[in-house]
Amino acid sequence: MKRVRIVVFFDCVMAVFLLCLVFQQRFLNAAVETGKRNEMIQEETKRVALTFDDGPNPEYTEKLLDGLKDREVKATFFLLGNQVELYPDIVKRMHEEGHLIGNHSYDHVNLGALCESEACTQIKKTNDAIYKVTGEYPEYLRPPFGSVKNKLDEDMNMIVTLWDIDTRDWEVQNVASIESKVLGKAKDGEIILMHDAYATSVTAALDLIDKMKQDGYEFVTVDELIFE
């Protein structure tokens, strides 16, 4: 009788042990699957915004728009008021093709060095020029050189938008150098600063889109990064 009890006890212990192994394996499998799902989610949410200053440019902006359209990518353009007045058809195309249009002052002055009334005039003239073409006032302001007086954005009811990665494309004007500042360095949610006034910038921007899409990046407009 004692031997039977020992055997039964041993069988119970083994059964509990085996159940523990089964649950442990299931837990490990679930953890692995969760990790894989999290990795997939992270890969799916690598979103960046390409932004272009100083346009529209009569020679290069439309080439950039052609490339963006072919790739089904939307970008953000911070425009100069005097350029908007010179090339309204390009601005109209930007708007119609779904790109976000922002304010970059009227003639690329340092807003932080101006008195408040002069800075407001720079912004208002550009807003009015954009509204005349698109029927919408821009909500986003990128001050030239990133310089702006405190509370100017509040006074003008605009959102100041700077950048995370400065490609210095206007300075280097070299495709490989421009790309090297972005590839392998851009993180989810970052804003990339470029210009649409140089052939090398257009080539680099479109090349970056092709390469980064392969790495799981999605290109969105600035407002999508901020509010979604």
Residues whose CB falls within 8 Å of the CB of residue 179, separated by 6 or more in sequence, listed in order: 204, 207, 208, 211
70 or 29, which is more confident? 70
Is 128 a residue of the active site?
Answer: no
pLDDT at 3: 47
Considering the chain, what is the average pLDDT of its residues? Answer: 88
Give the three-state DSSP class for 135.
Answer: coil
pLDDT, mean of residues 120-140 = 98
Sign for the CA dihedral angle at 111, 113, 115, 116 comes to: positive
Nearest to 211 by CA among 189, 181, 179, 188: 179
Flag whether pLDDT at 64 surpasses 60: yes
- Look up 99 and say whether it is catalytic: no
Examine the pLDDT at 8 and tell me if it is beyond 80. no
Does residue 36 carry a pLDDT above 90?
Answer: no
Query: Residue 202's closest CA among 21, 59, 42, 104?
Result: 59
Per-residue model confidence as pLDDT tens digits over 21-33: 554 566 455 545 5
**Catalytic option among 11, 53, 107, 223:** 53
Alpha-helical runs (H) found in the chain: 2-44, 61-71, 81-86, 88-96, 116-134, 152-155, 169-172, 175-180, 199-214, 222-227
Out of 54, 99, 195, 196, pick the active-site residue.
Answer: 195
Kind plus residue range of the DSSP H or E element containing 46: strand 46-55
- pTM of the predicted model as reported, rounded to 2 decimal places: 0.81
Q: Given pLDDT bands bounded at 50, 70 and 90, which one contains residue 225?
A: very high
Tell me which residue of 35, 78, 76 sits closest to 54, measured CA to CA: 78
Query: CA 176, 182, 184: angle at the middle one, nearest 5?
Result: 105
CA distance 94 to 75: 9
Cα dihedral 81/222/96/196 (nearest 10):
50
CA distance 67 to 226: 25
Which are the contacts of 160, defined by CB distance < 8 A and separation ≥ 6? 140, 141, 142, 143, 148, 153
Which pLDDT band holds residue 2 (cuts at 50, 70, 90)? very low
